[in-house]
Amino acid sequence: MRFVRSLLCAATVLAFDQGTKLWARQSLVLGEVRPLWGDFLRLTRVHNTGGAFGLLPQHTGAFIAVSCAVVLALGAVLVWGSWRRMGRVGSALLLGGAVGNLVDRLRWGYVLDFFEIRGFPVFNVADAAIVIGAGLVALSFLVRGRAR
């Protein structure tokens, strides 16, 4: 049952990510900037062909391969791992985010980013889920460790 809940969490992240990207794709022109909260929070459509922060943009194939491996590993962790709740939720967020960005890379050859907070690179829902998920997994190790 835990595995099913984790998959539902990952699927929810994926659906929300893809839904917001569909909206951004239909509503924003590449490079367009729309202020939401002054200069602090803006919508800015960016096509990221690289990794985190746009690094190594010419290596799309490598990012697809790594993303596939990460998705398989996270799926295995959720099926066979014995995580406590925080670690399971974190892994599910990581899985949903990884699949969301992988879908973009496979479909368009880039990841669609559109949220911009001053001082941070432009990101999307999948990126946020990955960061929060990684934080929860790390925190689960620090606070309680893995269940045996």
Give me the residue spans of the domains in the chain. 2-27+50-107+125-143
pTM of the complete model:
0.84
Catalytic, 17? Answer no
Catalytic, 113? Answer yes
Question: Average pLDDT, whole number, for the chain?
Answer: 85
Q: Which of 17, 39, 104, 113 is catalytic?
A: 113
pLDDT one-digit tens code per residue, 22-65 = 999 999 999 888 998 888 999 999 998 866 655 555 656 666 77
Task: Indicate the helix (H) or strand (E) that contains 117.
Answer: strand 111-117
Task: Indicate the helix (H) or strand (E) that contains 33.
Answer: strand 33-37
